[in-house]
Structure 1
Amino acid sequence: MIERLAHVRNWIFDLDNTLYPASADLFAHIDTRMTAFVADLLQVDRVEARRIQKEYFLGHGTTLAGLMTEHDVDPYAFLDYVHDIEMDVLAADAPLAAALARLPGRKIVFTNGDRPYALKVLERLGLGGSFEGVHDIHSMNLRPKPQPDAYAGLCAAFDIDPAESLFVEDMARNLKPAKAIGMTTVWVDNGSEQASDVDRSFIDFHIHELNPWLHHILETA
C-alpha cells in the first residue's frame, strides 16, 4: 500500500458508475424511468419532465429528494419504479473482487439508491461478498449525498472515524462533505459529472477508472 494511504482503515465506495464502468450505461435506464415517472406524475411531456428531473437533481441532491419536497412523493413507490430495470449490461468483475479482497480494512457501499437495488448490482458484478454493508438512501433518512447528514449517519452507523476513511465517488460534488469531515477522497472522473467550473480542491486522488487504480496502490511499495 502506498504511504499516502497507510492510514486508511475504512474503504467506502459509491455504487453507480463507480463500482462498474460508466460505459456500461446502466444508469441511463434508471434515468429514463425517472423521466417517465415525473411525466406521469405531473402530466407533462417527456421534455418538460426531463427538465424538472434535472432541476430537482441539481437543487436537492437527487430527483427523489426534489419530488418528495415539492410533491410529497412516496419514496418506496419511486425507487421500486425506477430500479425495475434489466442488468444484462453488467458482468462479473473478478479483478475488482480480487483487489477489494486485498484492501486492508472494512469495505462499505454508500449509495443514494436503495439496498435491494444495490444488492442486485453487487451480485451481478460478483461482489456480493466484498462489502461489510450498504448504507443506502433509507439509512440516510432520505437525506441523500451531498447532504452532510448522510455522511454523519454513515459514520455513526458503522462506527467510522472519518480520518481513517477513504471515499470513492464518480460525482465530485459528493466528495466535498466527505473531505470536510476528514476523509481521503477519490474522484472517478469518467464523464458522469460534466461540470467543469467546480472547485476540485477537496479531491485527493483524481482517477478515471477504479480497477487500475486499486491494483496500482496495492502493488506500489
Structure 2
Amino acid sequence: MQSSTETPPPIDPPPALSHVDSWIFDLDNTLYPASCNLFAQIDVRMRQFISEALHLGLDEAFTLQKRYYHEYGTTLRGLMLSHGIEPGVFLAYVHDIDYSPLPTASLLDSALERLAGRKIVFTNGSERHAESVLAKLGLTRHFDAIFDIQAADYIPKPNAESYRRMALHCGIDPKRSAMFEDIARNLAPAAAVGMTTVWVHEEGHTRWSGAPGDDLSHIHHVTDDLAGWLSGVAKARTTGTASLP
C-alpha cells in the first residue's frame, strides 16, 4: 500500500498473512486506544523530571523534552547524551502513573488467543511499564517477550539498530514477522528488514510523525480496530477468507 501525501492510506480488510509466525507490537497507543490518553500522564512526568533535574522552568523543560524527542527518538536518549541522566531513575519517575484509564481489552484478548505464533512487545518504554499495561489490559498471558528500551541499550525506535537488536534478542526472522505501530515513522525500519507493517490509526489521536509528501510506502496495512483486524487475520488463516468480525 503506497501514498505520497500526509493523508493516511485507506483502511483495508485483513489478509491471511500466512507467512507470519512472529507478531511484534508497540505498546503505548497501539495495544490500547490512544484516546485513553495514558501517555499524557507520562508527558507531564517527563516535563517535571526535566524541570527538577536541570533546574528549568516548566515551559523550558517542555521545549527541551520535545526537541530531544524529535532529534533522538526519545527524550531519554537526549537527556542521557546531553546531560548524563541516569536512565533507570528517569524511567521509574515518568512511569509512576495511574493505569486506571486503561480498559480490560476483552476483544483483543480473544483475537490474540486465536492468532497462532509468538507475540512480542517492542517498546521505547520500560519493561516494568509494559508489564503494568499488559496486566491492566488483561493480555499478559499472550506475550512471550518484552523488548524494552533497556534491552535495546537505550537505542530507541526508529533507530535501525534497535530493530536489529530486537530481532536477534528474540530470535525472530523479520521476513516472517508483522509489526504493529501507532507512529508511522517507526514502521520504516521494520519494512526495510522485511517485516510486514501495520499502522494502527485512531482518527484524531494517532501521529504520522512525518511531513507532507513523505514516502509512506513502508506502511503495508492500516487499521483503526486492532482487535477486529487481528480477528480477521486469524479467520483468514483458518478459512482462507478475510473479513472483519
TM above 0.5, yes or no, is yes
Q: What do residues 17-69 of structure 1 show as CA deviations (whole Å, max 9, x unaligned)?
A: 00000010001000010011111122222111111101000000000001001
C-alpha distance 26-2 of structure 1, shift in aligned 2 (>3 A) = closer
Deviation at 1:216, TM superposition (A): 2.5
Pairing partner for 1:171 from 179, 183, 207: 183
Q: Closer, same or farther in 2 for the Cα pair 1:137/1:68, shift >3 Å? A: same
Q: 1:41 aligns with which of 40, 53, 61?
A: 53
Give the Å deviation of 1:156. 0.7
The match for 2:67 is 55
Map of 1:212 onto structure 2: 228
* Distance in 2, Cα, partners of 1:70 & 1:51: 15
AA paired with 1:112?
N
2:122 aligned with 1:110 = yes
In the alignment, is the contact (CA less than 8 A) between 1:2 and 1:218 conserved in 2? no
Corresponding residue for residue 68 of structure 1 = 80
Give the TM-score normalised by structure 1. Answer: 0.96
Work out whether 1:83 is the aligned partner of 2:95.
Answer: yes
After the TM superposition, which of the residue ranges 3-12 and 164-173 deviates more from structure 2? 3-12
| 1:3-28 Cα distance to aligned partner (Å, 9 max, x none) | 55110010000000000000100010
Paired AA for residue 200 in structure 1: L
Residue range with higher mean Cα deviation, 36-45 or 108-117: 36-45
Aligned counterparts of 1:133 and 1:181: Cα–Cα separation in 2: 20
Instruction: After superposition, give the CA deviation of every residue in 1:150-200 in whole Å (9 maximum; x if it has no partner).
Output: 111111111111000000000111110000000000111223315442321
Distance between the aligned counterparts of 1:77 and 1:208, measured in 2? 35
For 2:182 and 2:15, the matched residues in 1 are separated by 24
1:103-182 superposed matches below 5 A: 103-182=115-194
Q: Which runs of 5+ in 1 are unaligned?
A: none
**Is 1:20 equivalent to 2:32 in the alignment?**
yes
1:215 to 1:106, Cα distance in 2 relative to 1, 3 A: same
Q: Do the aligned partners of 1:21 and 1:209 also contact (CA within 8 Å) in 2?
A: no
Moved more, 37-46 or 121-130: 37-46
Count how many residue pairs are aligned between Structure 1 and Structure 2: 221
Using the TM superposition, name which of 83-92 and 184-193 deviates more.
184-193
- Paired residues for 1:178-197 under 5 Å: 178-190=190-202, 191-194=205-208, 195-197=210-212
Report the identity percentage: 45
Deviates most, 183-192 or 159-168: 183-192
Counterpart AA for 1:127? L
- The offset of 1:219, in angstroms, is 3.1
CA distance in 1, matches of 2:127, 2:15: 34
Judge conservation of contact 1:12–1:109 (CA < 8 Å) in 2.
Answer: yes
Q: What one-letter code is carried by the residue in structure 1 that aligns with 2:207? A: E
Letter in 2 for 1:110: F
Higher relative contact order (CA 8 A, sep 6+): 2
Confirm or deny: 8 A CA contact 2:16 2:233 kept in the other structure.
no
- Please give the TM-score of this superposition, normalised by the length of structure 2: 0.86
Q: Distance in 1 between matches of 2:206 and 2:83?
A: 27
Distance in 2, matches of 1:181 and 1:141, equals 20
Secondary structure of 1:166's aligned partner: strand
Equivalent position amino acid for 1:12 in 2: I
How far residue 209 of structure 1 moved from its aligned partner, in angstroms, is 2.7
